[in-house]
Structure 1
């Protein structure tokens, strides 16, 4: 080893492995991919070992890179916690707050929390990332995540907001005209359903419950979509029966463009939660965000 790696080089390496992409890591770190590539060459040279397998189509850590990353995650996490704890002595929260959320959660936060938060804490840079896939918020550098309670990892601290949620089956009156309205979930097997594709690529199976009886159905259908807004619109256009969060369908229900089916098979469930790691210090900006969220949602 010729010289000691710098903290910035180690953070750059962690970002690259976390994203499996030079471009995405460079975007996170606020530098060009070429600069990041130069940093990695210098790091590998200083350690005297190759850390990454790089091709034109893929990027992955070597065995040495895997071992370094396993140790480095804990070190950087502890360092970030120590630095965050030191900032609690500042008069106002500052720095960057990264939150990963699904679209529904982001919409609620943008409507009810974010405007007041930005007004109160102008020194905080809020980075709200919306995507369908459930990510490891620690590995990918987020301070918190937002998902339905059933999707929150058990080792996280979770704070509920936004009230209860309910998934409902809906259809347009034009679709139901001339067809037998489903009375039980099994009746959906004889209808055209708008299927839901999960971020993993697998179809989502519809879940119903009544009086303790649970039914899970892989519904039939010739149309598959992966965006809740498009699914609701497709149902309103008479293309089939959809299974959506009631909140997203409410405007169409109010206008009579959709009606609820199997109402007694669609109970409410605990809604959205903001969650964060419980084993490290909570950054002041995240604490301020949570405190405000509790009061306005």
Structure 2
């Protein structure tokens, strides 16, 4: 059976005309206020009366009055209509300037390493925007979760999102504490991981993430084993500092502990590159000013070292998966 795709007549059609006539007790003055003809006002009111099923006005050649149905309708319709007008004004205001709540979903690992200074400077520049950060290791559906944008590693961003680079590409480095490495022979080859306790991370889809390496020109994914599983990078990093095993984490996350002597890099010749961290958001044609302001703020603060060879103009290019972005991978089981 063929469906009817005609939009039904709205319950609010004719209400503004009715309220104006009720205010002025005149179809002609109501028409002047609304900038239409008296005939248009009369037709709108008649259509409203027909839809309601009751006469709202008593009309004579000399005056216009309200029926009892009209009085009752006026008492409920006027405050409701005024609320709708006020709601429109509030929404319009948010569409004209950076204001309101900006909700971001981010992994916990980037909050202290990347976001704190960025958010602080943005809030200082745009005091009417309220920033809310939801730190979670899960891959969140932005639209379903009510978020304006998200921040994730580039390899986990869907291809239909617009992405703006926040950091350069970085190494995935394997680290262990000096205490752990005193108890175990330091791994020199990827196969040496068989004899080591490896700290693993569970992805939001429930799977355990393999470790990624490069051996010459070959990209390799290795399934490691160990007695500890976390669901975010900071927890895994902390476990490595405590000597619980080896962990593979982004180089910027490990750098501080390595410098402080709390962690040691291993298997450095086999470290692979990750695309880096990106701000991403849906490709809406009408971007809210608060998000536009944040995107522009991110771009304006991007370090010049991030820019060579990188297209960060998210408004002009959609992110595409390319072979050079994510290399083909083979798998080895340990």
| TM-score, scaled relative to structure 1 | 0.67
Distance in structure 2 (CA, Å) of the matches to 1:259 and 1:190:
18
Distance in structure 2 (CA, Å) of the matches to 1:251 and 1:110:
17
* 1:180 positional shift: 2.6
* 1:130 positional shift: 1.1
Name which of 154, 168, 187 aligns with 1:163.
Answer: 168
Change in 2 beyond 3 A, CA 1:178/1:95: closer
Question: Hey, what does 1:70 align to over in structure 2?
Answer: none
Question: Hey, what does 2:297 align to over in structure 1?
Answer: 292
* 1:284 positional shift: 0.6
Q: What pairs up with 1:81-96 in 2 under 5 angstroms?
A: 87=93, 90=96, 92-96=97-101
Distance in structure 2 (CA, Å) of the matches to 1:227 and 1:251:
18
Matched, 1:193 2:198: yes
Question: Hey, what does 1:258 align to over in structure 2?
Answer: 263
SS in 1 for 2:170: coil
Q: Residues 213-259 of structure 1: CA distance to partner in whole angstroms, max 9, x if unpaired?
A: 11211111112222322322221222211111222222210121211
Q: What pairs up with 1:245-284 in 2 under 5 angstroms?
A: 245-284=250-289
Question: Hey, what does 1:209 align to over in structure 2?
Answer: 214
Name which of 100, 104, 123 aligns with 2:128.
Answer: 123
Preserved contact between residue 171 and residue 241 of structure 1 (Cα < 8 Å): yes
Preserved contact between residue 185 and residue 215 of structure 1 (Cα < 8 Å): no
Preserved contact between residue 108 and residue 234 of structure 2 (Cα < 8 Å): no
Question: Hey, what does 2:244 align to over in structure 1?
Answer: 239
Q: Residues 105-156 of structure 1: CA distance to partner in whole angstroms, max 9, x if unpaired?
A: 3334532311111111111111111111101111222111111111111011
Distance in structure 2 (CA, Å) of the matches to 1:150 and 1:84:
38
Change in 2 beyond 3 A, CA 1:266/1:83: farther
* 1:158 positional shift: 0.5
Distance in structure 1 (CA, Å) of the matches to 2:93 and 2:162:
21
Matched, 1:152 2:157: yes
Q: How big is the alpha-carbon RMSD for the aligned residues of Structure 1 and Structure 2? A: 2.7
SS in 2 for 1:139: helix
Structure having the higher Rg? 2
* 1:210 positional shift: 3.3
SS in 2 for 1:177: helix
Q: Residues 56-79 of structure 1: CA distance to partner in whole angstroms, max 9, x if unpaired?
A: xxxxxxxxxxxxxxxxxxxxxxxx
Change in 2 beyond 3 A, CA 1:159/1:97: same
Preserved contact between residue 176 and residue 245 of structure 2 (Cα < 8 Å): yes
In structure 1, list runs of 5 or more residues that go unmatched.
Answer: 7-81
Kindly tell me the number of residue pairs found equivalent between the two proteins.
219
* 1:268 positional shift: 2.8
TM superposition outliers: structure 1 runs of 4+ over 4 Å: 82-89
Distance in structure 1 (CA, Å) of the matches to 2:89 and 2:214:
47
Question: Hey, what does 2:3 align to over in structure 1?
Answer: none
* 1:292 positional shift: 0.9
SS in 2 for 1:188: helix
Moved more, 106-115 or 263-272: 106-115
Distance in structure 2 (CA, Å) of the matches to 1:227 and 1:163:
21
In structure 2, list runs of 5 or more residues that go unmatched.
Answer: 1-9, 13-87, 303-334
SS in 1 for 2:143: coil
